[in-house]
Chains A and B, each alone.
Chain A
Amino acid sequence: MANQHFQIVIIGAGPAGMAAALTTTKAGLETIVIDDQKDSGGQVYRNLQANQETSPAYLGQSYYDGAKLAQSFADCGAVYRPDCTVWQITDMHEVALVSRGKAELITADYIIIATGAIERPMPVKGWTLPGVMSVGGAQTMLKQAALGADNAVFVGSGPLLYLTAWQYIKAGLAVRAVIDITSAQQWRSAIPFAPLALLQPDMLAMGRKWLGDIRRNTEVINHVSAVEIIGQSQAQAVSCTLSSGDKIDIDSNHIFLHQGVVPNVNLTMATALAHQWDYQAHCWRPVIDVTGKSSDEQIYIAGDGGGIGGAKAAAIAGRLAASAIVARCGMPRFLAQLYYKLRHLHYLSIRPFLDRLYFPPAHFRLAQTDETIICRCEAVSKADVNSALASGASGPNQLKAFCRAGMGRCQGRSCGLIVQEMIASHTGQSMAETGYYRLRPPVKPITLAELASLEGPWPD
């Protein structure tokens, strides 16, 4: 079977991908949007179309703000392939994907990668126990299944945590406590950037509303410096250490962790695109120009995958990248691009403030006890990693060979940043100098039969 070809291949049907498709289809460019979820919306607008029928109010207005975009996307005429997993982009701009057990190669003139963000890992003792989930996971359950945990404890910091706790309260769930790890020092470092944040007063107002409702409806424990989750076969309690040194134990079977989101760089790194360490946001991001063009002339990156900015910024970034491509296809879009650039800057104006306020504290970026699991997939503990470092592993890739951290199924998504942090701390190198796992395809695991299906059916 000949490979399909599209002028534009968009990977990801979140706000950035959907918005990009609107622009490219409007310009008449043959567009395909590939996404690994079953419905469009990515994570931020997960299950949006289904939820519009019942419209649970607790999900909040900013969620439903995505409805127009989702509807426009459904109508725009792009070929939409849900439930497809991209596992490689070759240097010939072939996109290798697998769908329902069958592999395909799709060639592209231009590729827009809009694969969004993932949670920053938060390695606390006991974080692998059943009942412990990321806050993003808890929110996804609300959106996807109208399901929430009673008596849950939220631990960490960052807008997503406050939003989700607020959604939980509005949904009528009893939230046992919010344990906040933001330190007073972080407030002080963020305040100088508050004026920029004032460019988005609605965002600040929303945040204040969330925090107010949370304070009125649950126990809030501030300035926590250490956290441990206790349990044998599942989470039973969370123990936190206050700035005073006192410890509080809170019983709960449901602990939700969060300390920010970071760009999901697995696909972009495996595609050998240039990346840089973002010191302000403390994460890796692809090197892109103002329109989102990567170090590859034909590949653009839009949305949180190029740098955290949130849903609205993502949609604009999608428009911006798409317009740049449309212009390169002979249809200049000067005014539109200018508009998008300005809107993008506007939406990003709150980042310096938020990035400093919710900067992940060092003692939560590193694990605090030897038994804490660092690599979840391979059950490698902090002690194991330290042992490998003591044996002379000097970088993330050497470390893999020493102790298997990063060799599991998630391909480093859960442990990469922790390992990098540990190596940097041990060697004294900067995070940028330390580097990251050398990521290779397949970007998600693919079975032998699925891969072979590019050639034919699996032998009997």
Chain B
Amino acid sequence: MARLTGTAATRPVVIIGAGIQGCATAFFLSQRGQPVIVLEKDHVGRHASGVNAGGVRRLGRDIAEIPLSVASMDWWNQIDQLLDIDEGFHRQFYVKVALDDAGADLASRRIQQLHRAGFQHETWVDRDQLLYRIPHLTKSVLGGVLVEGDGWALPWKITRAFYDKAAALGAEFRSPVTVTSIDKSGEHWQVKTDAGMIETDIVVNCAGAWGAQIAKMTGDILPIEAHAPMLVITDRQPMFLQSVVGVMGGTLSFKQLDNGSMVIGGGKRGVADAARNLTQIIPAGLSSFVMTAGRVFPHLRDVAILRAWAGIEGYTKDNLPIIGNGSQAGIIHGFGFSAHGFQLGPAVGEALADLAMARQTRVNLTPFSPHRFAVSPDQAAGH
């Protein structure tokens, strides 16, 4: 097997999926002079990467993810220069508010846990401070866990910007192209699609909710489930929020865009049909998360929802992404971000590019190893 030794491979690296992970990987590889072909079955940013809530946060991460998230934040803080865009990252602060004692308790334990692990970025902020910084919060808020310097971005804009910059640096994007099989051919891989076959040494699987299907083609059984978390966007309101607000113990998030619209994500799931690119909004679920929204910002009662949607996302059992080398040489996986992959995108792209060039990654990827899902051949046969 021809292995890369930190330099460019002769054959283009094939990346499957043009969401943020795939586009960021393409960007970093192209920047390093490595030819890349990205295969996308729909179009750039069509799924979770284009339609998520846009949170750019270190807040609330699983401890195992924090180093990756912190590394990614370095990129976010220079995203405009990196990608030649304007106002890519709205750097504000992010706070998860505690609405009741249970929430306050969770907050306290969380901060202790983080401090013990050596992380200081999350701090408790009390009710008075919180109401001072976010006057429209419900008066019954008890306080919150806050990270300065977190914020938000427009998911479609950033994904598109990685794509544009990667393309400008020489990356080739082909869509709509669907991968049908990935077969070993001597020391190389043959990626077969509905538009022809590509021979390569390295395949990077960034296929999101379809990542398990692609992984299976390479002999890796990496189970994920496709779900569709729901979001809404409202009509424009006078600006009142200069931070991103979440809820302790929940996945609700609020942000206010520059034009005054609110994007509210609730973590409540709609129905996902990954095979047909279809999602369903569930009225009861939507209602429930909007009710929670009302507990945080009761003044929003007459704000109109103009659109609800749900993006198809891939979730792993342990809610941690799958990032790392597959069981066979030349296969690299980067999917299963379980609805919190957007902020990680830049660092993941960098890490996947490092793996593709057999370089040491900046961040230890062990917690995300595909091998944590290793199954015996018998178990595999049962799938």
Taking Cβ atoms with an 8 Å cutoff, the residues of A that contact B are: 88, 90-91, 94, 96, 103, 105, 272, 394-395, 398, 401, 407-409, 411, 440-442, 445-449, 451-456, 458-460
B110 interfacial contact with A, CB 8 Å:
no
Please measure, in the bound complex, the distance between the C-alpha atom of A456 and the C-alpha atom of B138, giving whole angstroms.
18
Say yes or no: B283 contacts A448, CB within 8 Å: no
Question: What residues of chain B lie closer than 8 Å to A395, measured between beta carbons?
Answer: 43
Say yes or no: A448 contacts B300, CB within 8 Å: yes
Say yes or no: B308 contacts A442, CB within 8 Å: yes
Please measure, in the bound complex, the distance between the C-alpha atom of A398 and the C-alpha atom of B51, giving whole angstroms.
12
Min CB–CB distance B273 → chain A (angstroms): 10
Binary flags per residue of B119-138, CB closer than 8 Å to A gives 1, else 0: 00000000000000000001
Pick the residue among B156, B283, B300 that contacts A90 (CB under 8 A). B283
Please measure, in the bound complex, the distance between the C-alpha atom of A446 and the C-alpha atom of B286, giving whole angstroms.
12
B87 interfacial contact with A, CB 8 Å:
no
Say yes or no: B291 contacts A441, CB within 8 Å: no
B50, B281, B290: residue with the most chain A Cβ atoms closer than 10 Å: B290
Instruction: Give 27 CB contacts A-B under 8 Å.
Output: A88-B283, A91-B271, A91-B280, A94-B283, A96-B283, A401-B50, A411-B306, A440-B308, A440-B309, A442-B308, A445-B235, A446-B304, A446-B305, A447-B305, A448-B234, A448-B293, A448-B294, A449-B294, A451-B283, A451-B290, A452-B290, A452-B291, A453-B287, A455-B284, A458-B294, A458-B301, A459-B294
Question: What residues of chain A lie closer than 8 Å to B235, measured between beta carbons?
Answer: 409, 445
Question: What residues of chain B lie closer than 8 Å to A441, measured between beta carbons?
Answer: 281, 283, 308
Chain A's closest residue to B271 (CB) is: A91
Say yes or no: A451 contacts B287, CB within 8 Å: yes
Say yes or no: A448 contacts B303, CB within 8 Å: yes
B168 interfacial contact with A, CB 8 Å:
no
Say yes or no: B280 contacts A90, CB within 8 Å: yes
Pick the residue among B138, B278, B300, B306 that contacts A445 (CB under 8 A). B306
Question: What residues of chain B lie closer than 8 Å to A398, measured between beta carbons?
Answer: 43
B101 interfacial contact with A, CB 8 Å:
no
Say yes or no: B307 contacts A411, CB within 8 Å: yes
Chain A's closest residue to B284 (CB) is: A454
- The 4 A-B residue pairs with the shortest CB-CB distance, nearest first, are A454-B287, A445-B304, A449-B301, A452-B291
Min CB–CB distance B84 → chain A (angstroms): 13
Min CB–CB distance A439 → chain B (angstroms): 9
Q: Give the residues from 156 to 195 in chain B that come closer than 8 angstroms, CB to CB, to chain A.
A: 156-157, 160
Please measure, in the bound complex, the distance between the C-alpha atom of A90 and the C-alpha atom of B271, giving whole angstroms.
11
Min CB–CB distance A34 → chain B (angstroms): 15
Question: What residues of chain B lie closer than 8 Å to A394, measured between beta carbons?
Answer: 43
Pick the residue among B280, B281, B290, B309 that contacts A448 (CB under 8 A). B290
B371 interfacial contact with A, CB 8 Å:
no
Say yes or no: B307 contacts A90, CB within 8 Å: no
Say yes or no: B304 contacts A447, CB within 8 Å: yes
Chain B's closest residue to A104 (CB) is: B283
**Given pairs A448-B303, A448-B304, A455-B288, 19 additional interface contacts (CB within 8 A):** A88-B281, A94-B283, A103-B283, A105-B283, A442-B305, A442-B307, A447-B301, A447-B302, A447-B305, A448-B234, A448-B305, A449-B294, A451-B290, A451-B305, A458-B294, A458-B298, A458-B301, A459-B291, A459-B294
Min CB–CB distance A378 → chain B (angstroms): 9
Given that A91-B271, A394-B43, A401-B50 are known contacts, is A456 also in contact with B291, CB under 8 Å in the complex?
Answer: yes
The total of Cβ contacts below 8 Å across the A-B interface reads 96
Binary flags per residue of B244-287, CB closer than 8 Å to A gives 1, else 0: 00000000000000000000000000010000001011111011
Given that A103-B287, A401-B156 are known contacts, is A90 also in contact with B282, CB under 8 Å in the complex?
Answer: yes
- Chain B, interface size category, equals 35 or more
Chain B's closest residue to A105 (CB) is: B283
Chain B's closest residue to A96 (CB) is: B283
Please measure, in the bound complex, the distance between the C-alpha atom of A126 and the C-alpha atom of B233, giving whole angstroms.
29
Please measure, in the bound complex, the distance between the C-alpha atom of A408 and the C-alpha atom of B160, giving whole angstroms.
22
Question: What residues of chain B lie closer than 8 Å to A94, measured between beta carbons?
Answer: 283
Please measure, in the bound complex, the distance between the C-alpha atom of A449 and the C-alpha atom of B50, giving whole angstroms.
28
Please measure, in the bound complex, the distance between the C-alpha atom of A394 and the C-alpha atom of B284, giving whole angstroms.
35
Question: What residues of chain A lie closer than 8 Å to B286, measured between beta carbons?
Answer: 451
B43, B234, B271, B286: residue with the most chain A Cβ atoms closer than 10 Å: B286
Chain B's closest residue to A91 (CB) is: B280
Question: What residues of chain A lie closer than 8 Å to B278, measured between beta carbons?
Answer: 272
Chain A's closest residue to B302 (CB) is: A447
Pick the residue among B234, B284, B306 that contacts A408 (CB under 8 A). B306
Pick the residue among B283, B298, B302 that contacts A460 (CB under 8 A). B298
Chain B's closest residue to A95 (CB) is: B283
Min CB–CB distance B49 → chain A (angstroms): 12
Given that A441-B281, A445-B235 are known contacts, is A407 also in contact with B306, CB under 8 Å in the complex?
Answer: yes
Question: What residues of chain A lie closer than 8 Å to B306, measured between beta carbons?
Answer: 407-409, 411, 442, 445
Question: What residues of chain A lie closer than 8 Å to B157, measured between beta carbons?
Answer: 401
Please measure, in the bound complex, the distance between the C-alpha atom of A53 and the C-alpha atom of B346, giving whole angstroms.
70
Please measure, in the bound complex, the distance between the C-alpha atom of A88 and the C-alpha atom of B285, giving whole angstroms.
13
Min CB–CB distance B129 → chain A (angstroms): 22
Chain A's closest residue to B99 (CB) is: A459
Please measure, in the bound complex, the distance between the C-alpha atom of A442 and the C-alpha atom of B50, giving whole angstroms.
20
Please measure, in the bound complex, the distance between the C-alpha atom of A226 and the C-alpha atom of B26, giving whole angstroms.
48
Say yes or no: A440 contacts B287, CB within 8 Å: no
Question: What residues of chain A lie closer than 8 Å to B308, measured between beta carbons?
Answer: 440-442
Please measure, in the bound complex, the distance between the C-alpha atom of A240 and the C-alpha atom of B304, giving whole angstroms.
39
Please measure, in the bound complex, the distance between the C-alpha atom of A456 and the C-alpha atom of B291, giving whole angstroms.
8
Please measure, in the bound complex, the distance between the C-alpha atom of A407 and the C-alpha atom of B156, giving whole angstroms.
14
B295 interfacial contact with A, CB 8 Å:
yes
Please measure, in the bound complex, the distance between the C-alpha atom of A133 and the C-alpha atom of B303, giving whole angstroms.
27
Question: What residues of chain B lie closer than 8 Å to A88, measured between beta carbons?
Answer: 281, 283
Please measure, in the bound complex, the distance between the C-alpha atom of A27 and the C-alpha atom of B271, giving whole angstroms.
36
Min CB–CB distance A332 → chain B (angstroms): 34
Please measure, in the bound complex, the distance between the C-alpha atom of A212 and the C-alpha atom of B160, giving whole angstroms.
57
Min CB–CB distance A285 → chain B (angstroms): 21
Min CB–CB distance B286 → chain A (angstroms): 6
Min CB–CB distance A85 → chain B (angstroms): 12
Question: What residues of chain A lie closer than 8 Å to B291, measured between beta carbons?
Answer: 452, 455-456, 458-459
Question: What residues of chain A lie closer than 8 Å to B287, measured between beta carbons?
Answer: 103, 451-455
Question: What residues of chain B lie closer than 8 Å to A442, measured between beta carbons?
Answer: 305-308
Please measure, in the bound complex, the distance between the C-alpha atom of A441 and the C-alpha atom of B230, giving whole angstroms.
11
Min CB–CB distance B52 → chain A (angstroms): 13
Say yes or no: B298 contacts A459, CB within 8 Å: yes
Please measure, in the bound complex, the distance between the C-alpha atom of A90 and the C-alpha atom of B235, giving whole angstroms.
23
Please measure, in the bound complex, the distance between the C-alpha atom of A395 and the C-alpha atom of B300, giving whole angstroms.
33
Say yes or no: A452 contacts B294, CB within 8 Å: yes
Question: What residues of chain B lie closer than 8 Å to A445, measured between beta carbons?
Answer: 235, 304-306
